[in-house]
Amino acid sequence: VLTPGGRVGLTVWGDIKKSPGAWALAPFRMAAPAKLDNQAAMQLGRPHAGEDLLARCGFVDIERVDVPFVWEFADPETFARALASTGPAFEAMQNVGEAAFLEAAASQAREQARDGLPLRAPIALVGFVARKPLTEGTVPQ
């Protein structure tokens, strides 16, 4: 419950297609088409999407900020196991199975591997801060 005048903050993926680390999220596309459609509908980091949602929900003073963000992993197998622990990966594994998902994720990461360096995936991340409007007779705290 957010009191009148209270602030909310949240982060969402930004424009993934423009991110150098988009490769790291590619295995999620192994999910069933209906799951992919649902994921696409929730892309609040697209220009104006998050702001519009917050405004429709009655928030004011909406601010959008780009958040520097990089995933880093020691090796392709560690990357694949970490990715498999996420919600979108679960949806992909429901469609193709855990073994196929892990192999696809590790294979994707091997293409990015550089000798002596960790895997790095810079991914666009967006933060939003907004305020619940004051109602008559309330004082901000």
pLDDT digits (tens, 9 = 90+) for 92-107: 999 999 999 999 999 9
Mapping DSSP onto H, E and C, the string for 16-72 reads: HHHCCCHHHHHHHHHCCHHHHHHHHHCCCCCCCHHHHHHHHCCCEEEEEEEECCEEE
- 3-class DSSP state of 141: coil
Report the chain's mean pLDDT, rounded to a whole number: 93
DSSP letter, residue 3: -
Q: Tell me the CATH architecture of domain 7-131.
A: 3-Layer(aba) Sandwich (3.40)
Q: Over the stretch 4-34, which tens digit does the pLDDT of each residue have?
A: 999 999 999 998 888 999 999 999 999 999 9
User: Is the pTM value of this prediction over 0.85?
Assistant: no
**Residues 79-138: tens digit of each pLDDT:** 999 999 999 999 999 999 999 999 999 999 999 999 999 999 999 999 999 999 998 555
